[in-house]
Structure 1
Amino acid sequence: MRSLSRTLERATLRDIALVCLADALVGVSFGAIGVSGGLPLWVPVAMSVLVFAGGAQFAAIGVVLSGGGVLAAVATGLVLNARLLPFGFTVAGVLDGPRWRRLLGAHLLTDETVAFTLLQPDRPRRRAAFWLCGLALFVVWNAAVLLGAAAGGFIGDTDALGLDAAFPAVLLALVLPSLEERRTRNAALFGAALAVAATPFLPAGLPVLLALAGLLLAGRAQPDRAGESGPEGRSGLEGRSGLEGESATRERRADFAKEAH
């Protein structure tokens, strides 16, 4: 863990610590909600260790506490966690090594680990950010869930404390620097608008997946300026002027050589 922290900048370590703090608040809330709702203490604790997915855990607990069956709870969690599939492809390059290490990395895959991984400029720092953030969150989340479950009904109404808002607020703060680019910002706004519009009509978890349609805007290639502008296009001029300039230079050198002989 210490070698991983030495690879990252101090600002990144600070941000990871803040995310762990926010997740700890949400974990306490999750443990308290589960136990105060009538579940045994071991249920939210075991779910946190084996599933380790905050949103899916809240959704599954909500289904069970509202009278739904186990299969419905599992299906709800799977729908919410389906967003992690494209995330896995995105950060697959940092999960090298033996199979057990890749499986552990897959278990630690969360929105936060992906966010910190993609913010790093090179592969060593991406690998360090993924493992440091993933392991720290796993330890903090499970400890917080255990604490909240032990507290049980003493916390009372967790929504009144605003704990449910800490997690999305931190994630929003993380993605704000990435929205400086216009194309990324438009894609994010388009995906968010789709998710908000679909929320009243689709089951929980599906609007989040629908928001991935915003990637269609982010993935669009930049228009070929040479093709748009023809001979007067900027890229076309730059491309041709560069080639023509090199060709003219070679011709002048050949002429000088002939005159010298």
Structure 2
Amino acid sequence: MSTISKSAFWLGLRDGAPFVLVVGPFALLFGVVAADAGLNALEATAVSLAVIAGAAQFTAIGLLADHAPTFVALASALAVNLRMAMYSASLTPHLGAAPLWQRALAAYLTVDQSYALAMSTYPKHPDWETPQKMGYFLGTVTAICPFWYLLTIVGALVGNQIPPEFALDFALPITFLAMVAPMLKTRAHLAAALVAITLSLVLTWMPYNLGLMVAAIAGMMAGARVEMMTGGAK
């Protein structure tokens, strides 16, 4: 930890720890869904380790379980994860000067929680340099990621033994609402969200959840257009 700030790391760990309360049920639910789709515990864990993107994992596994073509499952998962490209672009001014191995690690660990925390915290510390920013970023996922891997295994092993009244599926919408709502600060953000939400509801008739892909792309286009028209005004 010589090239990152220890104090910023511990601050990130503190800020990221509460997300374990929603990541845990989310990971358990993915393990259950993966087991239902025919994956064993090792395969389910390999998916979590390789992809580390819950929404994309659920999308791909769900489509494959419904016997959708492989290319549709992959394309849908990619569409769901397109936001990571935007995350990376907005993180680059903060972390781009870090050593290559740190940037590679940050790229792997860029998840919704680490991004949301970083982008809300960095403006509060204008004096932070790259070591402090990288330390904070890595701290945010130190509690989250191990729980994601561990509870994926637990979910895959226990399968449907988890009572339905536990309602583990609440974790996904609650997590996204908690992270996205405070970030809707400009007209472009609101336009993108409104278009994506509206189209995702209107296009539910499309097979294999393709409506989500169309809605995501249309939302990004709408947000970009409003950004150009308003110049980023709030």
**What TM bracket, shorter-length normalisation?**
0.7 to 0.9
Judge conservation of contact 1:76–1:205 (CA < 8 Å) in 2. yes
| Aligned-partner SS, 2:38 | coil
CA distance in 2, matches of 1:76, 1:222: 29
CA distance in 2, matches of 1:21, 1:69: 34
Query: How far does residue 147 in structure 1 lie from its aligned partner after superposition?
Result: 1.1
CA distance in 1, matches of 2:186, 2:98: 35
> Which of 159, 164, 184 matches 2:169?
164
Q: Name 1:173's counterpart in structure 2.
A: 178
CA distance in 1, matches of 2:45, 2:24: 14
Judge conservation of contact 2:9–2:138 (CA < 8 Å) in 1. no
| Aligned-partner SS, 2:22 | helix
| Aligned-partner SS, 1:39 | coil
73-82 or 33-42, which moves further after superposition?
33-42
CA distance in 2, matches of 1:49, 1:177: 29
Q: Unmatched 5+ residue regions in structure 1?
A: 224-261
Query: How far does residue 20 in structure 1 lie from its aligned partner after superposition?
Result: 2.3
Query: How far does residue 52 in structure 1 lie from its aligned partner after superposition?
Result: 0.7
Listed as ranges, the matches of 1:1-261 within 5 Å are 6-7=7-8, 13-93=13-93, 94-119=95-120, 120-121=122-123, 122=126, 123-124=129-130, 125-155=132-162, 157=164, 161-179=166-184, 184-199=185-200, 200-201=202-203, 203-212=211-220, 213-217=222-226, 220-221=230-231
Query: How far does residue 22 in structure 1 lie from its aligned partner after superposition?
Result: 0.8
Judge conservation of contact 2:13–2:143 (CA < 8 Å) in 1. no
CA distance in 2, matches of 1:216, 1:27: 36
Query: How far does residue 9 in structure 1 lie from its aligned partner after superposition?
Result: 8.0
Q: Check 1:175–1:198 CA distance in 2 against 1; reply closer, same or farther (3 A cut).
A: closer
Query: Counterpart amino acid of 2:187?
Result: N
Q: Check 1:137–1:216 CA distance in 2 against 1; reply closer, same or farther (3 A cut).
A: farther
Query: How far does residue 14 in structure 1 lie from its aligned partner after superposition?
Result: 4.4
Q: Deviations over 1:111-166 (max 9, x none)?
A: 22111111123345532332112343221211111111111121254xx5332232
Q: Check 1:198–1:177 CA distance in 2 against 1; reply closer, same or farther (3 A cut).
A: closer
Q: Name 1:257's counterpart in structure 2.
A: none
Q: Check 1:146–1:95 CA distance in 2 against 1; reply closer, same or farther (3 A cut).
A: farther
Q: TM-score, normalization: structure 2?
A: 0.78
Query: Counterpart amino acid of 1:28?
Result: L
Q: Name 2:206's counterpart in structure 1.
A: none
| Aligned-partner SS, 1:203 | helix
Q: Deviations over 1:73-118 (max 9, x none)?
A: 2222111111211111110231544433322211111122111111
Query: How far does residue 177 in structure 1 lie from its aligned partner after superposition?
Result: 4.4
106-115 or 51-60, which moves further after superposition?
106-115
Question: RMSD across aligned C-alpha pairs, in angstroms?
Answer: 2.8
Q: Check 1:137–1:96 CA distance in 2 against 1; reply closer, same or farther (3 A cut).
A: farther
How many positions carry a matched residue from both structures?
216
Identity %: 27
110-119 or 96-105, which moves further after superposition?
96-105
